[in-house]
Amino acid sequence: MLLLSLFCTLSVRFLGMKIELVVFDLAGTTVDDNIDGLPLVTVALQDAFRKSGFVLEPMNVNAVRGMEKREAISALLENFSETRDPSLVDKIFSEFRASLDQNLSKLSCEIPGTTDIFRELRRQKIRIAVGSGFPHRVVENIVKLLKWTNVVDFISSAEKEGHGRPHPCLIESAMKEYNISNARQVVKVGDTKLDILEGKNAGCWTVAVLTGTQEKETLIEENPDFVIDSVADMSEVIQKIQCFH
Instruction: State whether CATH 1.10.10 applies to domain 35-106.
Output: no
The domain made up of 2-33+109-242 has a fold known as: Rossmann fold (3.40.50)
Identity of the residue numbered 195: D
Q: What is the pLDDT of residue 2?
A: 55
**pLDDT higher than threshold 90 for residue 189:** yes
Q: Which residue has the higher pLDDT, 2 or 181?
A: 181
pLDDT value at position 90? 93
Respond yes or no on whether the N-terminal peptide bond of residue 166 is cis (omega within 30° of 0).
yes
pLDDT, residue 83, reads 60
- For the residues 216-242, what does the mean pLDDT come to? 95
Which pLDDT belongs to residue 7?
A: 44
Q: 142 CB contacts (<8 Å, ≥6 apart)?
A: 26, 31, 104, 107, 132, 134
| pLDDT (0 to 100) of residue 13 | 42
pLDDT mean across residues, the chain: 90
Closest CA to 180 of 21, 43, 46, 62: 21
Question: Measuring CA to CA, which residue among 91, 90, 88, 70 is closest to residue 80?
Answer: 88
The ranges assigned to domains in the chain are 2-33+109-242, 35-106
> Do 43 and 27 contact (CB within 8 A), yes or no?
no
Q: pLDDT at position 212, please?
A: 92
pLDDT, tens digit, for every residue of 125-175?
999 999 999 999 999 999 999 999 999 999 999 999 999 899 999 999 999
Mean pLDDT for 15-22 is 82
Tens of pLDDT, residues 62-94? 889 888 899 999 999 988 866 667 789 999 999
pLDDT confidence bin for 12, thresholds 50/70/90: very low
Smallest CA-to-CA distance from 238 within 182, 189, 174, 175 is with 189
